């Protein structure tokens, strides 16, 4: 079998998400946390390292990164028009008087 | 639960002599089945809970898990166990195999001679920066332009969707099983296929053909693999307390 060139993200996707689950008193799942929690922890833990490795797909995922939603709007005409309108509404950005 | 002899379990496989796993992992056998295990300190898993920014413990453990499963998979069929399965000594491993024997054996027979391949299709939206030239347009004209542009994007999406559907039909014909996996944002299709080794050439030829068509329709296709059958061993081995 050829050596796999699958990325860490691909490996995590499979290793953390699938496989035989042992139920009952015999199997002790030490990692007794939800997959997503694990994922988020991992990404908080090593986002910097991962990014250097080019494993940053979650940065565009609204689930992990609410800003991704804004970025989708970011370049559109709509966003520009909203900004223009906001600029014309008096007192929008003023501090409390 | 005693505190000695914790075993991290990676995969269920055939109990064969001479299965060379290197020094660390070993095979605990019961009849013609075996579980690949290695000694583990549960504290290694505890570190996953820390938020230390330089701690890639989970990545390291996941890579290890995958490496062991693959090492076995090079020689024998495997049922990968879920990451983080830790058993309390060899007696527990044997009891597990005893209880789950029939189910595990059937599952092994099903995946034997097959490998898993992943296929992802991403739709590449037209660059959002390609704005219509709004100079001298009335508001109504502008809105018409904008609606046309959105319609074109929608048509492109539907087109890619159609091709992706045909791709899946074609690939499924060469696969023993297939399964949709969770789709990260922006991924239109994320499917795992269980393919017999004898059908891999045909599977990849088909994939290549459709990848060209998808690229023309404005999408990208990524494949991963070959994998051990991670996505096709989604079974729960029930163990009762009085087992």
Min mean pLDDT across A3-17, A36-50, B115-129 is at A36-50
Classify burial at A29, counting beta carbons within 10 Å of its beta carbon; exposed 0-12, middle 13-18, buried 19 or more: middle
Q: Select the more confidently predicted residue: B23 or A46.
A: B23
Same domain, B198 and B139: yes
Same domain, B61 and B90: yes
Domain boundary among B70, B86, B112: B112
Same domain, B14 and B75: yes
Min mean pLDDT across A71-80, B13-22, B99-108 is at A71-80
Q: Are residues B14 and B110 in contact, defined by beta-carbon separation less than 8 angstroms?
A: no
Encode pLDDT of B14-45 as tens digits: 998 766 666 578 999 999 999 999 998 777 77
pLDDT at B71 over 60: yes
Determine, yes or no, domain membership for B242.
Answer: no
Q: Are residues B226 and B78 in contact, defined by beta-carbon separation less than 8 angstroms?
A: no
Q: What is the CATH number of the domain that holds B157?
A: 3.30.70.600
Nearest to B38 by CA among B68, B16, B14: B68
Domain boundary among B112, B131, B161: B112
Encode pLDDT of B172-222 as tens digits: 999 999 999 877 767 889 999 999 999 999 999 999 999 999 999 889 999
Determine, yes or no, domain membership for B238.
Answer: no
Q: What is the mean pLDDT of residues A49-63?
A: 48
Look at residue B141 and give its three-state secondary structure.
helix
From chain B, the residues in CB contact with A46 under 8 A are 53-56, 59
Q: How would DSSP label each residue in B181-220?
A: PP--TTEEEEEEEEEEGGGHHHHHHHHHHHHHHHHHTTEE
Whether residues B239 and A10 touch (CB distance < 8 A) is answered with no
The total domain count for chain B is 2
Instruction: Note the pLDDT of residue A25.
Output: 58
Task: State the sign of the Cα–Cα–Cα–Cα dihedral A19, A22, A28, A31.
Answer: positive
Encode pLDDT of B136-145 as tens digits: 888 898 889 8
Q: Are residues B101 and B33 in contact, defined by beta-carbon separation less than 8 angstroms?
A: yes
Determine, yes or no, domain membership for B104.
Answer: yes
Whether residues B236 and A20 touch (CB distance < 8 A) is answered with yes
Location of structure tokens 């693959």: B70
- Residue numbers of the domain that contains B197: 114-227
pLDDT at B46 over 80: no
Same domain, B23 and B94: yes
Smallest CA–CA separation between A93 and chain B, in Å? 27
Same domain, B104 and B121: no
pTM (global) more than 0.95: no
Look at residue B27 and give its three-state secondary structure.
strand
């Amino acid at each position: 079998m050829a050596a796999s060139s699958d990325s860490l993200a691909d490996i995590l996707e499979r290793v953390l998400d699938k496989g035989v689950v042992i139920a009952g008193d015999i199997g002790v799942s030490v990692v007794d946390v939800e997959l997503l929690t694990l994922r988020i922890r991992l990404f908080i833990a090593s986002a910097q390292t991962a990014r250097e490795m080019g494993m940053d797909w979650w940065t565009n995922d609204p689930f992990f990164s609410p800003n991704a939603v804004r970025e989708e709007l970011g370049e559109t005409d709509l966003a520009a028009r909203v900004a223009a309108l906001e600029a014309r509404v008096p007192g929008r950005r003023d501090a409390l008087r | 639960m005693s505190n000695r002899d914790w075993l991290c379990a990676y995969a269920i496989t055939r109990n064969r002599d001479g299965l060379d796993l290197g020094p660390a992992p070993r095979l605990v056998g019961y009849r013609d089945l075996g579980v690949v295990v290695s000694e583990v300190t549960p504290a290694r898993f505890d570190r996953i809970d820390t938020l230390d920014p330089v701690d890639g413990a989970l990545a390291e453990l996941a890579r290890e898990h995958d490496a062991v499963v693959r090492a076995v998979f090079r020689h024998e069929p495997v049922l990968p166990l879920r990451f983080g399965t830790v058993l309390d000594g060899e007696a527990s491993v044997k009891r597990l195999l005893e209880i789950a024997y029939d189910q595990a054996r059937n599952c092994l027979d099903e995946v034997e001679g097959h490998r898993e391949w992943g296929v992802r299709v991403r739709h590449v939206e037209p660059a959002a920066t390609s704005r219509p030239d709004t100079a001298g347009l009335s508001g109504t004209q502008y809105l018409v332009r904008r609606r046309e542009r959105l319609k074109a994007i929608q048509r492109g999406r539907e087109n890619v969707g159609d091709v992706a559907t045909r791709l899946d039909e074609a690939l499924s014909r060469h696969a023993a099983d297939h399964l949709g996996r969770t789709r990260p944002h922006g991924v239109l299709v994320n499917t795992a296929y269980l393919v017999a080794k004898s059908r891999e050439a045909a599977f990849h030829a088909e994939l290549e053909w459709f990848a060209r068509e998808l690229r023309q329709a404005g999408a990208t296709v990524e494949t991963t693999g070959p994998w051990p059958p991670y996505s096709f061993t989604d079974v729960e081995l029930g163990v009762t307390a009085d087992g």
